Structure 1
Amino acid sequence: MNNRADSFDATLSGQVDAQGFAFVEGDRMRSLLIAEGELTDWAAFVDSWNHLELDEYLAAKGRFRRRRHATFSAAADGPVVPQPHQAHFQSLQYNTLQGDIQRWFEPVDASVVNGATLRTILRFCHGFFGKLATPAIRWHIEVHQFRIEATADSAGEPTPEGSHRDGVDYVLVLLVDRKNIASGTTTIHSPDGKLLGDFTLTHALDAALIDDHRVYHGVTPVIPLSAGEPAFRDVLVVTFRAVAELPG
C-alpha cells in the first residue's frame, strides 16, 4: 500500500476494533482498493448485476431479491482461491427466516470470479480482516451478489430476516449501484438491541466493514422514488470465517 492508503487502513482498523464496525465513503474505499490491485473491469462487474437469478427461497415473502453466490478459501498468508460451487448454509441461530437449510444459488459468473475487480476486493478483505483477527489458519470466504428490487406496490427488503449477525467473523457490504430508490439505511446494533450507528450507502463503493461477533446489522426497506420506473439496490457482500486446517 502507499502511505495514504496505509493511513486510511490503520484508521479503519482502529474504528472496527473500537466499535465493531466502520462506514467507508466510496472515494476512500476506491483508494484502499487500488492500493491492492486494479478495477479495470468495473463496468462489466456492475453490469453482471443485471444477470442475477431470483432468490426462490424468499418466494413466501415476495420476489424482490435476486442473487448469485461463490465460495473461496485462503490461507492466512496465501492467495484467495476459488472453490467448487457449494450451498450457502446458516443455522437458525443466525437466520430465523431461512436457517438450517442448504440454499443453492446460481454461481457467480466465471468472468466476475476471475475478473480484476472482485480479485482486488478479496485481496483487500484478506489483508484487512487478517490484521484484525487472531491469526487464522485458513479462511472460508463467501461472496454474494444481491439485487433488491422495489415497486410502487411492494417495498424491497434488503434484510428480510431483520437485524442479524451472519454467523461469520467479518463482513464487507459494498454498494455497487442504486437506482430510483429511497431509504436502504444500514443500522448497526449491539447484541442487546441498542442502536450504535446508521448510514446509507448511496454512492458506488460506499462500504461497511463489520465485526460479526460484536454487532448486529440490518437495512431498512427500499421504496421507489418514481413509480413505474426500475428501482433497485445492488450490493456485494463478502464474508470471512476462520476455519481450522484439515488434518493431513
Structure 2
Amino acid sequence: MTAALPALHDQLRQDGFAFVAAGPMQVLLDAHALPDWAAFTASWNELAPDAYLASTGRHRRRRHATFSADAGGVCREAHQPHYQSKTYNTLQGDIERWFEPVTADGPSLRRIIGFCHDCFGALAPDVARWRVEVHQFRIEARADEAGEPTPEGVHRDGVDFVLVLLIDRSNIESGTTTIHAADGRLLGSFTLTRPFDAALVDDARVFHGVTAVTPLDPTQPAHRDVLVVTFRDAARSRA
C-alpha cells in the first residue's frame, strides 16, 4: 500500500489517467477488510431504470448519492439531483436528474470513498472540502441492441477526478475504456474485465469514453456493473 499509492500518484500526474488491475486495486482498498462486499455487490441487482435516457432507461439502471469529504472525514449529504451542463453532457445536460438513492452505504462504499479522498486529495492538497458523487450503474445488453456505458460519447464529467471501479461483468464483450486528449488524440485504452479493475481519471486534463457492450451469448442476460465516484472541489460551482 505504501509503495503503490505514490506510484499511482506519479502516473496520474504524468499521464492524467491510470488503469489499476484488480490485484493491486484490492491491495489499495485493503479488500480483505470489506466485510459487506458480497451485500454491496448484490445491491446492483436492486438498481432502478434510468428514466432520463432517450430509450426510457431500458438498458441502464442506476442509483446515486452525494457526500462531502474534508479533513474531518466523509459525510453523506441529503439526497439531491445529479446535474451536468450541456458543456459536459450534450445528451442530458442542463437538467436536474433525480435517481433513486444508494442504499448500500456500508464499509465497502465508505472505504472506496476514503481511498479516493486519500488519492485525489494528495494530488490537490489545497482543496479543503470535496463534493463527492457516487453512481451505481448497470448497463444491460441485448441481442437486438448493444448497451451504451457512455451514451454521451467521449466526454469529461466537469469534475476534478473520477474513479471507475468494475463490480461485475456477466456475458459481456467489449466495453473498452478509451482516454483522449482535448484534440481527440487517443492517449490510451484498456478494458475492465475483472471485479476491482479500475480506471482513475484527472477530468480536467483528459476525456474518456467506453465502447458499447454486446452479449457473448445473445440468448442469455448480459450486464456490466460499475461504481463511479467523482470528486469536485466544493468551492467550485457545479459543472
What amino acid maps onto 2:144 in structure 1? D
Counterpart check, 1:105 vs 2:115 = no
SS in 2 for 1:240: strand
Conserved? CA contact 1:23–1:208, under 8 Å: yes
Conserved? CA contact 1:38–1:120, under 8 Å: no
Conserved? CA contact 1:139–1:241, under 8 Å: yes
CA distance in 1, matches of 2:56, 2:172: 20
CA distance in 2, matches of 1:87, 1:243: 16
Q: 1:229 matched to which residue of 2?
A: 220
SS in 2 for 1:122: helix
What amino acid maps onto 1:216 in structure 2? F
Please state how far the C-alpha of 1:63 moved relative to its aligned partner.
Answer: 1.6
Counterpart check, 1:149 vs 2:144 = no
Q: 2:181 matched to which residue of 1?
A: 190
Please state how far the C-alpha of 1:199 moved relative to its aligned partner.
Answer: 0.2
SS in 2 for 1:197: strand
Matches within 5 A, 1:1-248: 5-34=1-30, 38-60=33-55, 63-75=58-70, 77-109=71-103, 112-113=104-105, 115-244=106-235
In the superposition, the TM-score normalised over structure 2's length comes to 0.96
Aligned length: 236
What amino acid maps onto 1:117 in structure 2? S
What is the percentage of aligned positions where both structures have the same residue?
63
Unaligned segments of structure 1, at least 5 residues: none
SS in 1 for 2:102: coil
For the aligned residue pairs, the C-alpha RMSD in angstroms reads 1.3
1:123-178 deviation per Cα after TM superposition (whole angstroms, max 9, x unaligned): 10000000001411210000000000000001000000000000000000000000
Conserved? CA contact 1:173–1:209, under 8 Å: yes
Please state how far the C-alpha of 1:60 moved relative to its aligned partner.
Answer: 3.6
CA distance in 2, matches of 1:79, 1:24: 25
Conserved? CA contact 1:174–1:207, under 8 Å: yes
Conserved? CA contact 2:49–2:58, under 8 Å: yes
1:216-240 deviation per Cα after TM superposition (whole angstroms, max 9, x unaligned): 0000000000012110000000000
Unaligned segments of structure 2, at least 5 residues: none
Gap change, CA 1:140 and 1:62, over 3 Å in 2: closer
- Using the TM superposition, name which of 63-72 and 37-46 deviates more: 37-46
Please state how far the C-alpha of 1:201 moved relative to its aligned partner.
Answer: 0.2
1:161-214 deviation per Cα after TM superposition (whole angstroms, max 9, x unaligned): 000000000000000000001000000000100000000000000000100000
